[in-house]
C-alpha cells in the first residue's frame, strides 16, 4: 500500500514538474519571436534594408547558438532552474532596452545578448524533464514540452498582432512582462530532480565538461542527427521570422484581416509538437528518426504548394499554413529524446545544448540569406520555395543518421 502511494505521489510530482516547466517556457518566445512582427516598422524607423534586419536576427540566433554550447553543459553541472530564471529575467531586460533605442548598432548588440540569455532555458528545461521522466512515455513528455514552445509562438503572435499596429516598441515592452512573472512562479515551485533514493544520487552525479563534450562529439550518429536538426531549424525560423512580413505585405494592399491567417502557423506548430511526440511512441514504436523524415517530407511538399498558389488569403491558404507549421515544427519533438537515447542520461544537458547550438547556427545563417532573397527577388513568397528545399535536406540527412546507427540488413525491419 505504501509503495502504491509512493508511486502515485511520484507520478503526480513528475507531471507537476513537467507542467511547471511548460508553463514557464510558454512565455519565453515573447522575448525573441516578437522581432519578426516589428521588422517592417523597424526597417522604416532605422532606414535600413530587410537584409540588415536579417543581420539583426542573425546576431540573436548566433548568441543563442553560442549560449547553447555553453549553457547545455552548465545545465548538467549546476542548477537548471536558476539558469532558466536568470535567462528569462535578463531577456526581458534586453527587450525593454531595445524598445527605447533608435540605433541600428545598439539594437544589433542588445539582440545578440538577448539570444544568449534566451539560450539558458531550453537545455535546462530538458535536464529537469529528463531527471523526472526516466521510465516510459518520455516521447510524450518531450512532445508536451516542445508543444509549450509552439504555444509560446501562438502567445507571441497574438500579443504582436494586437500591438504592432499601435507601436512597434510595445512589441518589445509588454509581452516580456508576462515572461518575467512566469519565471518567478517557476523558480518558486519547481524542483530540479526527485529528492530521494537512487534517482537523486544519479541526478546530482555531474560529469566533467571534457568527458561530456567528448561523449557527444565522438558519437557519429548523434552528430548527423544534429545536422538534420540544423536544416529543420533553418526552415522553422524562415517561417517564424518572415511569415509575418509576408502577411503584413498582403494586408497593406488588400485584406487587413489576412494578417490573422499567420496565427495558424504557430497553432499548427503546437499541434504538431504534441502529435509527433505521441506518433513516434505509438505509430513508429519510438523510431524517432523515421517519424522526423516523414514530417520533413510533408513540409517540403506543402511549402511547394503554397509557393505555387501565389496568394495570401482564404481558407485554402490558411489550411496550408496550419499544415506547414504542423509538419515544420512537429518533428522537433522527436529530436530532443535522441539526446538521452544516443548519449545516455548523464549527458542530456550537454547533448541538448549541442543539438540546439547546431539548430541555431543554421537558423542564424538562413536569416540574412532570406532577407537577401526577398530584397533581390521582390517576392516575399520566395520563403516557401526556400523552406521546401531546406526541409528536403533535413529529411535526407535524418535518413543518413538512421543508416549510420543500424546494420544495413536490419534497416527495413527497424523502420517498420
Q: pLDDT tens across 277-305, in order?
A: 777 777 777 788 888 999 999 999 998 88
Query: Left if phi > 0, otherwise alpha if psi is -120 to 50, otherwise beta: which for 66?
Result: alpha
Task: Report yes or no: 181 and 58 within 8 Å, Cβ to Cβ.
Answer: no
Of the candidate ranges 24-28, 163-167, 202-206, 216-220, the one whose mean pLDDT is the lowest: 202-206
Q: What is the pLDDT of residue 332?
A: 87
Residue 413 is predicted with a pLDDT of 45
Instruction: Evaluate if residue 391 carries a pLDDT over 80.
Output: yes
What phi and psi, each to the nearest 5 degrees, are found at residue 86?
-65, -45
Residue 111 has pLDDT above 90, yes or no: yes
**What's the mean pLDDT in 46-51?**
82
pLDDT category of residue 249 using cuts at 50, 70 and 90? low
pLDDT band at 377, cuts 50/70/90? confident
pLDDT tens, position by position, 229-246:
999 999 988 888 777 666
Helix, strand, coil distribution of the chain in percent, nearest 5 = 85, 0, 15
Residue 144: what pLDDT?
87
**Sign of the CA dihedral running 143, 144, 148, 153:** positive
In eight-state DSSP terms, residue 256 is G
Measured between alpha carbons, how far is 31 from 105 in angstroms, rounded to an integer? 19
Element at 110 (helix H, strand E) = helix 104-118
pLDDT for 255 equals 46
The pTM of this model reads 0.72
Residues near 37 by Cβ (< 8 Å), separated by ≥ 6?
157, 160, 161, 163, 164, 168, 171, 244
Dihedral sign, CA of 118, 155, 301, 382?
Answer: negative
Mean pLDDT, to the nearest integer, of 42-54? Answer: 83
Q: Are 236 and 362 in contact (CB under 8 A)?
A: no
Domain 2-189+205-415 classified CATH 1.20.1250.20? yes
The answer, yes or no, to whether residue 140 has pLDDT greater than 90, is no
Of residues 262 and 128, more confidence is placed in: 128
378: its cell numbers: 521582390
Reply yes or no on whether the pLDDT at 51 is more than 70: yes
* Contact status, residue 239 vs residue 383, Cβ threshold 8 Å: yes
Statement: residue 416 has pLDDT above 60: no
Sort 409 into a burial class: Cβ within 10 Å, 0-12 / 13-18 / 19+: exposed
pLDDT bin (cut points 50, 70, 90) of residue 258 is low
In a 3-state reduction of DSSP, which class is residue 318?
helix
CA 217, CA 86: separation in Å to the nearest integer?
28
For 12, the 3-state DSSP assignment is helix
Sorted by sequence, the CB contacts under 8 Å of residue 139 that are 6+ apart come out as 277, 278, 280, 281, 286, 288, 333, 334, 337
Distance CA 130, CA 349 (A): 9
Amino acid at each position: 500500500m505504501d509503495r502504491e502511494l509512493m508511486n502515485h505521489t511520484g507520478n503526480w510530482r513528475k507531471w507537476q514538474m513537467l507542467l511547471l516547466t511548460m508553463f514557464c517556457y510558454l512565455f519565453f518566445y515573447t522575448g525573441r519571436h516578437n522581432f519578426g512582427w516589428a521588422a517592417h516598422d523597424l526597417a522604416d524607423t532605422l532606414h535600413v534594408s530587410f537584409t540588415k534586419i536579417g543581420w539583426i536576427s542573425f546576431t540573436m540566433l548566433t548568441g543563442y547558438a553560442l549560449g547553447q554550447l555553453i549553457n547545455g553543459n552548465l545545465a548538467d553541472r549546476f542548477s537548471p532552474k536558476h539558469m532558466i530564471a536568470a535567462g528569462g529575467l535578463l531577456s526581458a531586460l534586453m527587450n525593454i532596452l531595445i524598445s527605447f533605442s533608435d540605433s541600428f548598432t545598439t539594437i544589433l548588440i542588445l539582440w545578440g545578448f538577448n539570444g544568449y540569455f534566451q539560450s539558458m532555458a531550453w537545455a535546462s528545461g530538458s535536464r529537469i524533464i529528463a531527471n523526472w521522466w526516466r521510465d516510459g512515455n518520455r516521447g510524450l513528455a518531450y512532445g508536451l514540452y516542445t508543444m509549450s514552445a509552439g504555444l509560446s509562438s501562438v502567445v507571441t503572435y497574438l500579443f504582436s498582432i494586437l500591438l504592432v499596429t499601435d507601436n512597434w516598441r510595445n512589441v518589445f515592452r509588454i509581452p516580456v512582462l508576462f515572461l518575467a512573472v512566469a519565471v518567478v512562479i517557476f523558480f518558486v515551485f519547481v524542483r530540479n530532480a526527485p529528492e530521494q533514493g537512487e534517482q537523486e544520487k544519479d541526478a546530482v552525479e555531474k560529469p566533467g565538461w571534457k568527458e561530456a563534450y567528448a561523449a557527444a562529439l565522438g558519437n557519429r550518429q548523434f552528430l548527423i542527427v544534429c545536422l538534420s536538426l540544423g536544416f529543420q531549424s533553418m526552415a522553422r525560423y524562415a517561417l517564424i521570422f518572415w511569415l509575418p512580413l509576408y502577411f503584413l505585405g498582403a494586408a497593406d494592399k488588400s485584406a487587413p484581416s489576412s494578417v490573422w491567417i499567420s496565427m495558424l502557423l504557430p497553432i499548427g506548430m503546437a499541434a504538431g509538437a504534441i502529435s509527433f511526440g505521441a506518433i513516434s511512441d505509438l505509430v513508429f514504436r519510438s523510431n524517432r528518426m523515421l517519424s522526423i523524415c516523414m514530417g520533413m517530407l510533408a513540409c517540403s511538399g506543402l511549402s511547394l504548394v503554397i509557393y505555387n498558389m501565389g496568394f495570401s488569403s482564404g481558407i485554402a491558404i490558411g489550411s496550408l499554413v496550419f499544415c506547414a507549421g504542423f509538419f515544420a515544427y512537429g518533428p522537433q519533438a522527436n529530436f530532443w529524446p535522441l539526446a538521452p537515447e544516443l548519449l545516455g542520461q548523464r549527458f542530456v544537458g550537454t547533448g541538448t545544448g549541442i543539438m540546439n547550438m547546431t539548430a541555431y547556427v543554421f537558423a542564424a545563417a538562413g536569416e540574412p540569406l532570406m532577407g537577401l532573397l526577398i530584397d533581390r527577388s521582390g517576392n516575399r513568397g520566395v520563403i516557401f520555395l526556400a523552406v521546401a528545399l531546406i526541409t528536403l535536406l533535413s529529411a535526407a540527412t535524418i535518413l543518413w543518421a538512421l543508416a549510420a546507427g543500424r546494420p544495413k540488413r536490419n534497416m527495413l525491419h527497424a523502420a517498420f
